[in-house]
């Protein structure tokens, strides 16, 4: 029997590490263009996702920066297009609005349901999301969970402040030219009695950014915070509603009840009519979410 020859070809991970090391060595020697070309080779041979490609484009921006600030910014623009959670370029950033394609909300909910093999897996994921939507949870975890909740309810969404480094914490598209704009202040002291000037200022800036990017469309502005009292020194420039702890809990409870209706059912045999009926029953329609009295309330001005 012929002797089996060992495979001496380096693993993919080893090749990536070697190329990263080579790029850093060229950078340290002042060969900035060579360092960029090495990372480009890494991308060409090993990168398969936009998230990874964005990360390495950002590395290219860093490596070329001492040689050319303009080239560096161009790489950072490209990186941000691939992965909006990366650093914001100094100029040339393009804000991408939520798709203008008409919503197919029931279909989106159905697809989310069918992404799980069974109800138990679905409910574990749902419970993980809802468990983070509480006062006292860190801001980033809360905002990410609120973004995931949009997907659970069939809505396209964005995190502009996270993705573009400006704008509101969360945006949901609840219908054609209908939006929910949310500023999350769930992590402030729950015993505080007033919404302060900095918080109304942040909301005002978020509203101004939204109007600049999205234009004249229907939008409901919500601040999630523990009090509805606005300080005498503060004020909102636009109509803003407050979602306090009781309203947030009502929303998460209704989402949980909605999905518990699917327990014991064949997830592959859910009708669109049944899903719509349950959305109405548990006050989760677009009109409910955009209403001024279901999940939010008017602030109290001094």
Helix%, strand%, coil% for the chain, nearest 5: 50, 10, 40
CA 153, CA 174: separation in Å to the nearest integer? 10
Radius of gyration for the alpha carbons in the chain, expressed in angstroms and rounded? 24
What is the reported pLDDT for 101?
A: 46
Domain 105-301: assigned CATH number: 3.40.91
Strand partners, 160: none
What is the reported pLDDT for 12?
A: 81
Give the CA dihedral 271, 277, 280, 286, nearest 10 degrees: 30
CA 21, CA 301: separation in Å to the nearest integer? 59
Among residues 118, 80, 152, 164, the alpha carbon closest in space to that of 267 is found at: 118
Q: Which residues contact 256 (CB under 8 A, 6 or more apart)?
A: 126, 127, 130
Percent of the chain at pLDDT > 70 equals 92
| 226 has a pLDDT exceeding 70 | yes
In terms of C-beta density within 10 A (0-12 exposed, 13-18 middle, 19 or more buried), how is residue 138 classed? exposed
| 3 has a pLDDT exceeding 80 | no
Q: Mean pLDDT: which of 17-26, 222-231, 261-270 is highest?
A: 222-231
CA 28, CA 77: separation in Å to the nearest integer? 24
**Where does 125-275 show beta strands of DSSP type E?**
157-158, 170-175, 178-184, 218-224, 229-230, 240-243
| 1 has a pLDDT exceeding 70 | no
pLDDT higher at 284 or 26: 284
In terms of C-beta density within 10 A (0-12 exposed, 13-18 middle, 19 or more buried), how is residue 189 classed? exposed
pLDDT tens-digit map of 38-78: 889 888 888 888 888 888 888 898 988 888 888 888 888 88
One DSSP character per residue, 174-198 reads EETTEEEEEEE-TTS-TT--SB-HH
Among residues 73, 77, 70, 67, the alpha carbon closest in space to that of 27 is found at: 67
Averaged pLDDT, 2-14:
60
pLDDT tens-digit map of 125-164: 999 999 999 999 999 999 999 999 999 999 999 999 998 8
CA 221, CA 242: separation in Å to the nearest integer? 9
Q: How confident is the model at residue 7 (pLDDT cuts 50, 70, 90)?
A: very low
What is the reported pLDDT for 95?
A: 65
| 5 has a pLDDT exceeding 70 | no
CA 87, CA 77: separation in Å to the nearest integer? 9
Q: Confirm if 52 and 60 have CB atoms less than 8 A apart.
A: no
CA 105, CA 219: separation in Å to the nearest integer? 18
Backbone torsions φ then ψ of 184, nearest 5 degrees: -100, 115
pTM of the model: 0.74
Q: List, as own/partner pairs, every contact residues 111-117 make where C-beta atoms lie below 8 angstroms and the sequence separation is at least 24, other chains included.
A: 112/151, 112/152, 112/154, 113/262, 113/267, 113/270, 114/267, 114/268, 116/267
Among residues 155, 66, 56, the alpha carbon closest in space to that of 109 is found at: 155
Q: How confident is the model at residue 83 (pLDDT cuts 50, 70, 90)?
A: confident
């Amino acid at each position: 029997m012929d002797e089996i020859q060992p495979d001496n070809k380096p693993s993919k991970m080893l090749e990536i590490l070697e190329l990263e090391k080579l790029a850093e060595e060229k950078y340290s020697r002042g060969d900035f263009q060579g360092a960029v070309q090495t990372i480009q080779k890494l991308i060409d041979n090993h990168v398969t996702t936009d998230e990874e490609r964005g990360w390495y484009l950002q590395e290219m921006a860093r490596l070329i920066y001492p040689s050319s600030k303009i080239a560096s910014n161009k790489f950072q623009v490209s990186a941000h297009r691939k992965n909006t959670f990366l650093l914001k370029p100094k100029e040339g950033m393009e804000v991408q609005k939520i798709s203008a394609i008409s919503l197919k909300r029931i279909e989106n909910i159905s697809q989310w349901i069918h992404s799980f093999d069974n109800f138990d897996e679905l409910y574990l994921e749902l419970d993980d999301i809802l468990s983070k939507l509480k006062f006292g949870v860190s801001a980033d975890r809360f905002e990410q969970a609120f973004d995931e909740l949009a997907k659970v309810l069939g809505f396209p969404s964005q995190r502009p402040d996270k993705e573009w480094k400006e704008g509101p914490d969360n945006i949901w598209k609840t219908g054609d030219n209908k939006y929910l704009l949310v500023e999350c202040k769930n992590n402030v002291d729950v015993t505080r009695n007033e919404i302060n000037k900095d918080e109304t200022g942040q909301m005002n800036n978020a509203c101004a950014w939204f109007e600049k990017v999205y234009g004249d469309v229907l939008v409901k502005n919500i601040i999630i915070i523990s009090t509805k009292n606005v300080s005498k020194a503060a004020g909102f420039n636009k109509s803003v509603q407050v979602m306090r702890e009781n309203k947030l809990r009502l929303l998460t409870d209704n989402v949980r009840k909605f999905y518990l209706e699917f327990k014991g059912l064949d997830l592959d045999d859910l009708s669109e009519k049944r899903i719509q009926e349950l959305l109405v029953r548990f006050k989760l329609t677009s009109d409910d979410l955009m209403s001024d009295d279901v999940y939010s309330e008017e602030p109290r001005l001094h």
